[in-house]
Amino acid sequence: MTETQQSYQKREDVPEQYCWNLEDIYISEEAWEKDFQAVSKLLNELKHYRGQVLKSAENLYQTLVLKDEILMLLEKVTTYAMLHRDENTGNQHFQGLADRVTALSVQVESRLSFIMPEIISLELAKLQSYIESKDELELYRHFLDDALRQKQHFLSPEEEEIVAQAGEIAQAPRTIFSLLTNADMEFPQIDVAGEKKQLTQGNFVGFLQSTNRETRRAAYDALFQTYTGYANTLGATYGSSIKGDMFQARVRRYNSALEAALDPDKIPLSLYDNLLSSIHDHLPALHRYMELKKKVLGLNELKPYDLYVPVTGDSKRKPSVEEAQSTVIQGLSVMGEEYIERLKKGFKERWLDVYETKGKRSGAYSWGAYGVHPFVLLNYQHNLENVFTIAHEMGHALHSYYTNENQPYVYSHYPIFLAEVASTVNEALLFKHLLNNAEAEEKASLLEKNLEQFRATVFRQVLFAEFEKKVHELAEAGTPVTPDKLNEIYGHLLEKYYGSALVVDDYIRGEWARIPHFYSAFYVYKYATGFSSAVALSEKLAQKDQTAKGHYLQFLRSGACDYPLEILKKAGVDLSTGKPVDEALAVFEQRLEEFETLLEKQID
């Protein structure tokens, strides 16, 4: 085992080059403390503008500048504390810093709460006169226009405070769901090749990927038996969440919970409906994929616990992190010299925290603060999946880097609707590079990975999105949403999406009960639109289309300076029609054909 393939128990054992350099945020904790205290001082300055925001153009401008200064500083001290905490969640000192910034964030939110109600009382003509008399306000035009666009959905300051308090109550279903499923539920042990293994939420999918069908079945039965025992509680919990969505929509004068969820990003209802329609048109391809999976696995019946097992086996690649980074650089070379130099800069200048150590937060993410480069947390394992993880997280990181370099703070946080585009573009380009250089056996494995991405990120998420739409419409029409009704709706959708190849049993009809995303209503459709947009963009980029590359780099620079659909349209993806989704699903069908051909050759 080489130096770069070692694993480490303690953080202090990890060589410096594999640890992020948080001194790029603050050279010392004393410097951090100084900025932490500065936030409170700025909040004291802010109080002079309460009730005076619209007194003059100068007052409006100074309020917005001070708000941004406070939020920038809060973001910086928060990032430093949280990243240090995630290095070792058992470190009580950094947990203390994290607790302090959390409390400070609540204080900041409270102190800033008067600004938006005052701004939305502004008339459009008055806003225009302010901008004409104060050139610096032009910077905030989109921010102010967007606030006034939603004016009818804001209430008086007193009513907003009541709604905010109700909002805390509305979070209860999500909290209850999380505590019940993560803390209180006890899952049994299962038999794995004659040995008892404890089933958990975390290892469930791993068991479903086992080549031993009895292991898959045992894990599936054990998990869903447990959930079934809580069906009434989970049904009531989800039902309460739906009522909370309805309350928020009605009190803000929206016609439906769906409309209320889409409007902040200025997404028309037609986009949601077009997405469902496009997916429905391409369901025969998913049915075909399911039939193929059933055939290759040699099954008389394809059960829900058979969906996750790979039919091509695992990749034999065991790359070091240096080899992974080199592969990512090669895979993204079509992005051009500027992008690659920034990618290399991130690898060289310790943006990444690479290895898993005791107490380190699990998973992977990209996080940062305005004015400082992004940071990427990894828990690198020596497999191909983690090569894709590096490409994905560096996609997020460079999206933030380009945005922060080109946008003022007010537009530096690109919306969730756009968040997964850059990361998925990187994965798509890396996939194409690996596929073009793979032998037949690995090519089949890569194609299966990509088909599974389509299944999980597009088809499955849109199934979720259609389920949410149906159950909210029922509740808004006054129909009681019971566990039996939820099972019925979810089961019918499974049959529709997966076709006759999949056996839809009573357990899987109740799968809605374990999906945490349902407690953030109408969120999951963004996975499908983001993935479809990324496929469309990556197809053009892979052809070394210089115009497409220029438009894409401008997309990365845009942040939130416009509405998400407009930013995507300038990049060459018009989601107001169903065309990008249809084109992405055509890619799915083409790769399915290629996968079928490869498997037939291997079987022969």
> Using CA of residue 22, residue 23, residue 28, residue 33, what is the dihedral sign?
negative
170 compared with 208, residue with greater pLDDT? 208
> So what's the pLDDT on residue 434?
95
**Residue 542 and residue 426 in contact, taking contact as beta carbons nearer than 8 Å:** no
Going by C-alpha positions, the residue among 370, 469, 353 that lies closest to residue 413 is 370
3 falls in which pLDDT band (50, 70, 90)? very low
> So what's the pLDDT on residue 1?
37
> So what's the pLDDT on residue 603?
61
**Residue 73 and residue 39 in contact, taking contact as beta carbons nearer than 8 Å:** yes
Taking residues 462-474, what's their average pLDDT?
A: 98
> So what's the pLDDT on residue 202?
77
Determine the residue type at 251: V
**Predicted structure pTM score:** 0.89
Tell me how far apart the alpha carbons of residues 488 and 501 are, in angstroms, rounded to a whole number.
19
Tell me how far apart the alpha carbons of residues 408 and 389 are, in angstroms, rounded to a whole number.
29
Taking residues 14-36, what's their average pLDDT?
A: 97
Taking residues 285-296, what's their average pLDDT?
A: 96
- Distance separating the N- and C-terminal Cα atoms of the chain: 37
> Using CA of residue 557, residue 562, residue 566, residue 568, what is the dihedral sign?
positive
CA angle 552, 555, 558 (to 5 degrees): 155
Domain spans of the chain, in order of start = 22-154, 268-315+419-604
Taking residues 174-198, what's their average pLDDT?
A: 89
> So what's the pLDDT on residue 314?
67
583: pLDDT strictly greater than 70? yes
Looking at beta carbons, which pairs linking 513-517 to residues 24 or more positions away fall under 8 Å?
513/227, 513/230, 513/231, 513/234, 513/235, 513/238, 513/483, 513/486, 514/181, 514/223, 514/227, 515/464, 516/174, 516/177, 516/178, 516/181, 517/464
Going by C-alpha positions, the residue among 428, 466, 476 that lies closest to residue 449 is 428
Taking residues 475-482, what's their average pLDDT?
A: 96
156 falls in which pLDDT band (50, 70, 90)? confident
Query: H-helix or E-strand containing 80?
Result: helix 57-87
Tell me the catalytic residues. Answer: 393
Tell me how far apart the alpha carbons of residues 537 and 458 are, in angstroms, rounded to a whole number.
16
183 falls in which pLDDT band (50, 70, 90)? confident
92: pLDDT strictly greater than 70? yes
> So what's the pLDDT on residue 318?
87
Tens of pLDDT, residue by residue over 340-393, are: 999 999 999 999 999 988 888 888 899 999 999 999 999 898 989 899 999 999
List helix spans (H) across 381-482. Answer: 384-406, 416-436, 440-454, 460-476
> So what's the pLDDT on residue 168?
66
154: pLDDT strictly greater than 90? no
The CA R_g of the chain, rounded to the nearest whole Å, is: 25
504 compared with 90, residue with greater pLDDT? 504
Looking at CATH, the fold of the domain delimited by 22-154 is given as: Butyryl-CoA Dehydrogenase, subunit A; domain 3 (1.20.140)
> So what's the pLDDT on residue 163?
76
- Helix 57-87 to helix 92-112 angle (10° resolution) is 160
Contacts of 550 (CB under 8 A, 6+ apart): none
List helix spans (H) across 298-336. Answer: 321-331
In this structure, what are the phi and psi dihedrals at residue 16, rounded to the nearest 5 degrees?
-55, -35
2 falls in which pLDDT band (50, 70, 90)? very low
Going by C-alpha positions, the residue among 163, 24, 131, 20 that lies closest to residue 86 is 20
Q: Are strands 189-192 and 195-198 parallel, antiparallel or unpaired?
A: antiparallel
> So what's the pLDDT on residue 483?
96
166: pLDDT strictly greater than 90? no
- Helix 321-331 to helix 384-406 angle (10° resolution) is 60
Tell me how far apart the alpha carbons of residues 257 and 248 are, in angstroms, rounded to a whole number.
8
Tens of pLDDT, residue by residue over 494-546, are: 999 999 999 999 999 999 999 999 999 999 999 999 999 999 999 999 998 89
Chain-wide mean pLDDT for the chain?
Answer: 93
- Edge-to-edge strand ranges of the sheet holding 375-377: 352-353, 375-377, 365-367
- Domain spanning 268-315+419-604: which CATH class is it, in words? mainly alpha
Tell me how far apart the alpha carbons of residues 393 and 108 are, in angstroms, rounded to a whole number.
29
Tens of pLDDT, residue by residue over 298-333, are: 999 999 999 999 998 766 788 999 999 999 999 999
**Residue 540 and residue 425 in contact, taking contact as beta carbons nearer than 8 Å:** no
Taking residues 78-86, what's their average pLDDT?
A: 95
Tens of pLDDT, residue by residue over 250-267, are: 999 999 999 999 999 999
- Helix 525-542 to helix 579-603 angle (10° resolution) is 70
Query: H-helix or E-strand containing 540?
Result: helix 525-542
Provide the token pair at 414: 């690109």
4: pLDDT strictly greater than 50? no
184 falls in which pLDDT band (50, 70, 90)? confident
**Percent with pLDDT over 90 in the chain:** 78
CA angle 354, 360, 365 (to 5 degrees): 55
